[in-house]
Amino acid sequence: MSIIRPAAVAGKFYPRDPLQLENEVRQLLDAAETVQCQPKILIAPHAGYEYSGPTAASAFATLLPHHGTFQRVVILGTCHASNDSQIFTTTADSFETPLGPVNTDTASVQAAIAEGLALANDQVHQFDHAIEVQLPFLKLILDSFEIAPFLVQSAPADDVASLIRLLWGGDETLFVISSDLSHYHAYEHAAALDRKTAELIVDLNDESFDQTRACGHRAIASAIQVAREQSLRCVQLDLRNSGDTAGSKRRVVGYGAFAFF
């Protein structure tokens, strides 16, 4: 019997109705300003679409010219349910979305478990939105793909980097780091902090990367480390916060989109 991970935040973070969801995602992609590149790694935010959808679209729009290229998407999402030092994957065979199921690349999952780099924990994945909110974008853009889903919070950066190396693959493999930037500062302070964080990411500098900069700091720092090893470049695609989109400017969450290529 197949194991399906139900959509946990449909109707909350994004529309539950398939037609409404497709229209919203396509409108976000159409409005996105991006650059021409074939990314190996993307950083995209994971808040509700009204808040971070435009920034996420700036990341995923880079995939449009390459919709037939990517067959495996390794997603490293921020783990919101546990501060454990493990990297958590899942036994689910697919992730439910309003646009249809997204299958899991079980071979990649099993390889990570066999190497001692990940632990299956369906409970941690059950309600976490970090992976789920990326799937409608991928579903509408890519022709045929599977995901290798992982949640990261306090895992050692070296372990996360080892996981990235293990699953690096070729042109068929894309990595998506699902992370927001700074959390709950006043607008001007957050904007300044996020600008500095963006500079560090573009410069492939992970020396001062911690939780004050991004909730997915471990995954981002690890991606930067491997990007340097692979001689990748990084470009900033978008940078804003919830005060620019749908929220108050008293306490904002930062959103950034970046492509490594």
Query: Mean pLDDT in the chain?
Result: 96
Query: If we measure between CA atoms, which residue out of 241, 182, 233, 229 comes closest to residue 41?
Result: 233
Q: Which residues of 189-215 are buried (b: 16+ CB within 10 A; e: fewer)?
A: ebbebbeebbebbeebebeebeeebbb
User: For 59, phi and psi rounded to 5 degrees?
Assistant: -75, -50
Query: 28 forms bridges with which residues in the sheet?
Result: none
Domain ranges of the chain: 4-260
Angle at 181 between CA 200 and CA 153, to 5 degrees: 100
Question: Which segments within the chain are labelled E, that is strand?
Answer: 4-5, 41-44, 72-78, 88-89, 94-95, 102-103, 119-120, 146-152, 173-178, 183-185, 234-241, 252-260
Query: If we measure between CA atoms, which residue out of 141, 137, 169, 175 comes closest to residue 68?
Result: 141
What pLDDT shows up at residue 199?
A: 98
Domain 4-260: homologous superfamily in CATH: LigB-like (3.40.830.10)
Instruction: Give pLDDT < 50 ranges for the chain.
Output: none
pLDDT in tens, 186-227: 999 999 999 999 999 999 999 888 889 999 999 999 999 999
What pLDDT shows up at residue 145?
A: 98
What pLDDT shows up at residue 154?
A: 85
What pLDDT shows up at residue 142?
A: 98
What pLDDT shows up at residue 174?
A: 99
Read off the DSSP letter of residue 198.
H
What pLDDT shows up at residue 210?
A: 87
What pLDDT shows up at residue 91?
A: 98
The rounded percent of the chain whose pLDDT value lies above 90 is 92
Residues 40 and 230: beta-carbon distance below 8 Å = yes
The predicted model scores a pTM of 0.97
Read off the DSSP letter of residue 190.
H
Task: Give residues with Cβ within 8 angstroms of 249, minimum separation 6.
Answer: 186, 187, 243
